[in-house]
Amino acid sequence: MSAAPAVAVSHRDSCAIAGIGATDFSRNSGRTTLTLATQAAVSAIADAGLERADIDGLVKSDYDDVQCTDLAHSLGLPGVTYWGATGIGGGAPCGMVGQAVAAIQAGLATNVLVYRALNGRSGVRFGKGSGVQRTGGAQYVGGNGSYEEFLYPYGVVAPGQMFAMVARRHMLEYGTTSDDLGSIAMTVRARANANPAAQMHDRTMNRQQYDAAPLIADPLRLFDHCLETDGACAVVVTSAERASDRPHPRVLIRAVSQGMIAEPQSGSFLTALFRESLTDQPSAQAARTLYRRAGMGPDEVDVAQFYDCFTITLLLQLEDYGFCAKGEGGPFATSGAIDLGGRLPVNTAGGNLSEGYIHGLNHVLEGVRQMRGTSTSQVDGAQTCLVTSGVPVNTSAMILRKG
């Protein structure tokens, strides 16, 4: 994929991320999601060198049960002029930042707080079938008003089951192997081992441990699945001009995009199994839009934070964002290209697989750290960072760069 020609894009480098904040990542926070969101927000606001009264915009995920009014009250915000939400679920984080950029450009807000909080282990566990849990106990039969009614009665209720079929199809079409997936799992685990804040900081993994892990949904093993995490993350988005006098070097938002595949099917994610091709994801469309808006291509990306709810999703995005040809994601990962010192170091804090699963907003924080030069697995000389959000229904992505 070659670099797109430079064209006028109104939001290019117009905004920046001035502050980041996170709670601890754990299996049992012992706190409400509102408390977690508040703690992450307070940290992000302080990191930006702002006062709470400076925040006049809020953006949340559609899956977050902490409403904007809840957080505004908890923080004591005196003058919120904009609030919004986007999704679906893991496809949201970069789009949430994009919504903040749009609000600032439109003059609807000046400093927008973007947040995500969840008790993903001690509360609602997506691995048990989030489509059912989110509806407060809806029955399997009926599919919650979508084509999922053709899947639930047969036991297809969880994301891991769907992505297992995607992985198997990729193996059949392109020769991808379990060793390729294992290379991804081990690479991001090594990055988590260097990150004291990661859930898997003190748990190393070798090939033998990966191979010995139980199959959860064939061909995906235990370590091909992301973590279940209690925690929260937040970022403060402001104009590039206002970010220039903040405590930390500003991190410019070069470009943001969203993408939705043709005929995405009705539902949250499982119905993507009804598509003609299981290996086609909305990330390919988001990539084309992103590079066009950024006026650059994959050759100019120094480091990436890929949404990795499963190893196969990271592999698919290596292809869709143009770092290797379709079908070559497995060999690319196994070659060492995604490790530190490789062509494209990825998920340098450990990602969803080994740092924590905050629905991908933690990837945005790590992208900022890379651009500030403060990552625990810092990529020497990195000037640009690609950050992506989840698939398969819709997705979003952005490119960050040093300011």
Q: How far apart are CA 399 and CA 12, in angstroms?
A: 10
Residue with tokens 């600032």: 104
Angle of the 361-372 helix axis to the 93-105 helix axis, nearest 10: 70
The burial class, CB within 10 Å (0-12 / 13-18 / 19+), for 148 is buried
Q: How crowded is residue 78: how many other Cβ atoms within 10 Å of its Cβ?
A: 11
* Nearest Cα to Cα of residue 401 among 127, 143, 78, 16: 16
One of 115, 140, 291, 307 is an active-site residue; which one? 307
Is 82 annotated in the active site? no
CB 328 within 8 A of CB 178: no
CB 350 within 8 A of CB 195: yes
Residue with tokens 């995500």: 116
* Nearest Cα to Cα of residue 40 among 63, 56, 24, 64: 24
Is 115 annotated in the active site? no
Q: How crowded is residue 16: how many other Cβ atoms within 10 Å of its Cβ?
A: 28
Exposure on the CB side of residue 180, measured as CA atoms within 13 A: 22
CB 257 within 8 A of CB 343: no
CB 165 within 8 A of CB 278: yes
Tokens of 399: 């490119």
Q: How far apart are CA 314 and CA 329, in angstroms?
A: 9
One of 82, 115, 152, 357 is an active-site residue; which one? 357
Q: Catalytic residue numbers?
A: 307, 357
